[in-house]
């Protein structure tokens, strides 16, 4: 395998090879993309020590303006290697090239620029008051870096979600040790190359590849030298990390799973709602934590809406990522495909009607060795069914009728998760009324996946803990203190 690229760890400004390797597989055709160096405990230890040293000696001593300038240079570096990042994202995930170009890499650039600008213009709270003796008192808030932040990022939107965490952490003066998903190591490695070229001080950004238990993820989340951990991924993994973080009373921010709902009222713009539900259910083959797996449609338009979704679903094109008309690529891995297919089978056993899809496409070429599944629409399940309660994380939605506002609000909230919801209606008062009663971190009205990066983001219940985005990220990645002065 001499001609197969080797992805190394990046620690203290140096590229490190480790003896243990794992394979990075292309989900389009099952072929080997690269070999990846798995970080052992000693490598993670070295990374944390380097980050802590850089935190004390160099990085936090820079002004906010100096750090912001370097973050802008990182954004410029990604932009200069735009096509390389697109290729890395497409090879690791199989997603359509047009999505990687318009969403993933573009958003990675925007993350660095947004948080660079925010930290330059960030304001602080100040209050004037008086002491019991009548003397004037001023209280003001300061924000200092936490130190070293452990960042564990997922495979579904690798560069987007990694930079969403790295950018504000660095902007606030923290150093980071990053562990990307073992499924998608390529764009994180490219980011390390860009950061090295930009010339950040050694130890500010460290990259360790590996898995979770008994690997880099566990070594990082349990390390006493880590001040905070931010994680995006499965709720069960978040629970494990939280238990580890409790030992050292570490700051944590979790964006976890979701069983998100879309609600379509009879007065909605029918075409816009149908297109919106298709997008929110099948974008990135359903592998977005914000995708709609539960769709509730007001009864007068239910049959028509299901028929429209079926027609649109059966027209979706599954193809190579660079095909000009491709709508969907494969799932991230054969293992994940098996999980999604097991839910398709479970849906049948629970009595669902398969309106569209429900199986594996047959291409007659190398794609049959990949991780493709058909986009699938279900109906007929009660809200108590496992397929209605558990996150599937694939290209699937279940469509149910409803009759009243109160009913659908209760059904949307009757979930262990609370990440996102969508409402489709032309009734302004209803939009405000219904959206405000959903127990979710974000509600979209007549749109999906549209959000200003300055607003807070996160989930409730099993969908997460804490908020990031805008000044909320700057707060999480800071130690906030109050200074009180009696004049």
Which residues does the annotation mark as catalytic? 255, 289
Task: List, in sequence order, every residue forming a beta bridge with 134; answer none if it has no partner.
Answer: none
Per DSSP, helices labelled H in 199-289 are 216-221, 235-247, 270-282
In this structure, the chain runs to a length of 487
Rounded CA-CA distance 231/241 in Å is 8
Listed residue (256, 320, 174) closest to 457, CA to CA: 256
Rounded CA-CA distance 341/344 in Å is 5
Provide the token pair at 162: 């990694």
Per-residue b or e along 408-428, where b marks 16 or more CB atoms closer than 10 Å to that residue's CB = bbebbbebebbbbbbbbbeee
Q: Return the number of other C-beta atoms located less than 10 Å from residue 395's C-beta.
A: 27
Rounded CA-CA distance 68/59 in Å is 12
Provide the token pair at 354: 């398969």
Instruction: Quote the Cα angle for 288-366-157, to 5°.
Output: 15
At 187, is the secondary structure helix, strand, or coil? Answer: helix
Q: What is the residue whose two structure tokens read 């338009």?
A: 301
Edge-to-edge strand order for the sheet containing 175-179? 14-16, 9-11, 205-207, 175-179, 148-152, 228-232, 251-255, 464-465
């Amino acid at each position: 395998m001499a001609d197969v690229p080797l992805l190394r760890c990046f620690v203290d400004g140096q590229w490190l090879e480790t003896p243990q390797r794992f394979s990075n597989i292309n989900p389009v055709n099952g072929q080997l993309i690269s070999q990846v160096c798995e970080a052992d405990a000693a490598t993670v230890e070295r990374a944390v020590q380097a980050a802590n040293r850089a935190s004390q000696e160099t990085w936090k001593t820079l002004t906010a303006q100096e750090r912001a300038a370097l973050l802008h240079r990182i954004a410029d570096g990604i932009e200069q290697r735009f096509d390389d990042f697109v290729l890395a994202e497409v090879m690791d995930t199989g997603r359509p090239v047009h999505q990687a170009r318009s969403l993933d890499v573009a958003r990675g650039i925007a993350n660095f620029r947004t948080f660079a600008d925010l930290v330059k213009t960030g304001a602080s709270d100040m209050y004037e008051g008086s002491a019991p003796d009548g003397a004037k008192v001023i209280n003001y808030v300061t924000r200092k870096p936490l130190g070293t932040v452990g960042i564990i990022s997922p495979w579904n939107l690798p560069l987007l979600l990694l930079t969403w965490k790295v950018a504000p952490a660095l902007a606030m003066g923290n150093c980071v040790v990053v562990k990307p998903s073992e499924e998608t190591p390529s764009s994180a490695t490219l980011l390390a190359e860009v950061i090295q070229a930009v010339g950040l001080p050694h130890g500010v950004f460290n990259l360790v590849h590996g898995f979770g238990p008994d690997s880099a993820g566990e070594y990082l989340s349990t390390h006493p030298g880590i001040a905070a951990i931010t994680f995006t991924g499965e709720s069960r993994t978040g629970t494990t990390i939280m238990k580890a973080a409790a030992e050292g009373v570490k700051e944590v921010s979790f964006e976890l799973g979701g069983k998100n709902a879309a609600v379509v009222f009879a007065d909605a713009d029918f075409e816009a709602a149908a297109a919106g539900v298709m997008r929110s259910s099948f974008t990135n083959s359903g592998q977005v934590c914000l995708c709609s797996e539960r769709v509730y449609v007001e009864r007068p338009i239910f049959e028509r809406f299901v028929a429209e979704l079926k027609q649109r679903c059966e027209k979706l094109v599954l193809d190579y990522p660079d095909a000009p008309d491709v709508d969907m690529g494969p799932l991230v891995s054969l293992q994940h495909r098996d999980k999604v297919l097991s839910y398709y089978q479970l849906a049948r056993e629970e009595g669902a009607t398969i309106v569209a899809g429900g199986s594996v496409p047959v291409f007659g070429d190398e794609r049959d060795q990949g991780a493709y599944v058909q986009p699938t629409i279900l109906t007929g399940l009660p809200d108590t069914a496992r397929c209605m309660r558990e996150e599937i994380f694939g290209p699937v939605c279940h469509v149910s009728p409803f009759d009243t506002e109160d009913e659908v609000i209760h059904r949307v909230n009757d979930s262990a998760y609370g990440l996102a919801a969508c409402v489709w209606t032309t009734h302004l008062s209803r939009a405000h009324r219904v959206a405000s009663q959903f127990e979710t971190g974000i509600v979209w009205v007549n749109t999906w996946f549209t959000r200003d990066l300055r607003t807070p983001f996160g989930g409730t219940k099993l969908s997460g803990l804490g908020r990031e985005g805008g000044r909320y990220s700057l707060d999480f990645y800071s130690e906030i203190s109050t200074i009180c002065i009696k004049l």
